[in-house]
Amino acid sequence: MSQPVDLLSELIKRIEGCRLCEASLPLGANPVVRAQQSARLIVAGQAPGIRVHKTSIPFNDPSGERLRQWMGVDSELFYNESKIAIIPMAFCYPGRGTRGDLPPRKECSTYWHPRLLPLIPKVELILAIGQYAHTYYLADRRKKTLTETVKAWESYLPEILPLPHPSPRNNIWLKKNPWFEREVIPYLKNRIRRLFESKE
């Protein structure tokens, strides 16, 4: 008797072989995405940085270290794709701009995301990280600025939690907005702990 087709695994293979916008990528295509059908949390960032491009390990950089601190998880849990799916708005490194990395290209969110997300049916929480993820997941519910959107975090629960990007470039934002680490981070850690404790 033949085994049932794992549609998500097949789609991930297609994504990893994607070359839709390779001609526009300075270092070529290297799609980085992790997901299994059993995942209950999606980490939706922007796009891989250059270190992630070189290693094919998502959030393998200072941003990832801070994000894991915010979440209260270790690397073992963070990279356990049966529990946590890591699905950036774009899967390849977009290149460097004058003020950091370029924005994520739109091909992934237009072509791949609508095919990918329905195949992860057990997701209970999406961490929408940064303005591009806010735009995609919150659409017209997003506020005028990233700060206003994050301040309204409770209104998007329980399905979505908007976060700023954990990049060191946002240290000034974090200093200006101490309420974030005082109010949002404790909720995030507790929510994740309860999410995985109750589903072991």
pLDDT per position as a tens digit, 100-122: 889 999 999 999 999 999 999 99
Residue 7 pLDDT more than 80? yes
Other C-beta atoms lying within 10 Å of the C-beta of residue 155: 12
Mean of per-residue pLDDT scores for the chain: 94
Asked if 121 contacts 38 with a C-beta cutoff of 8 angstroms, the reply is: no
pLDDT in the model for residue 3: 44
Supply the pLDDT for residue 5.
57
- CB atoms closer than 10 angstroms to residue 189: 15
Q: What is the pLDDT of residue 27?
A: 95
Residue 97 is predicted with a pLDDT of: 85
The pTM for the full model equals 0.94
Q: Would you put residue 38 in left (φ > 0), alpha (ψ -120 to 50) or beta?
A: alpha
Tell me, what's the pLDDT at 2? Answer: 42
Q: Report the amino acid identity of residue 136.
A: Y
For the domain 7-197, what is the CATH code?
A: 3.40.470.10
Is the pLDDT at 9 greater than 60? The verdict is: yes
DSSP H helices in 139-170? 146-151
Q: Which residue has the higher pLDDT, 103 or 3?
A: 103
- The pLDDT assigned to 197 comes to 86
Report, as an integer, the average pLDDT of 64-91: 98
Judge contact between 184 and 177, C-beta under 8 A: no
Rounded Cα–Cα distance for residues 127 and 76 (Å) = 18
Residue 198 has a pLDDT of 55
Please give the helix or strand (H or E) that residue 54 lies within, else none: helix 50-55
> Percent of the chain at pLDDT above 70?
96
Distance of alpha carbon 139 from alpha carbon 142, whole angstroms: 6
pLDDT > 90: percent of the chain: 92
Query: Tell me: the pLDDT tens digits for 131-188?
Result: 999 999 999 999 999 999 999 999 999 999 999 999 999 999 999 999 999 999 999 9
Q: Where are the domains of the chain?
A: 7-197
Residue 1 has pLDDT above 50, yes or no: no
Per-residue pLDDT at 42 exceeds 90 = yes
Q: How far, CA to CA in Å, does 170 sit from each of 20, 87, 177, 186, 193?
A: 31, 21, 11, 19, 26
Contact in structure between 73 and 117 (CB atoms under 8 Å): no
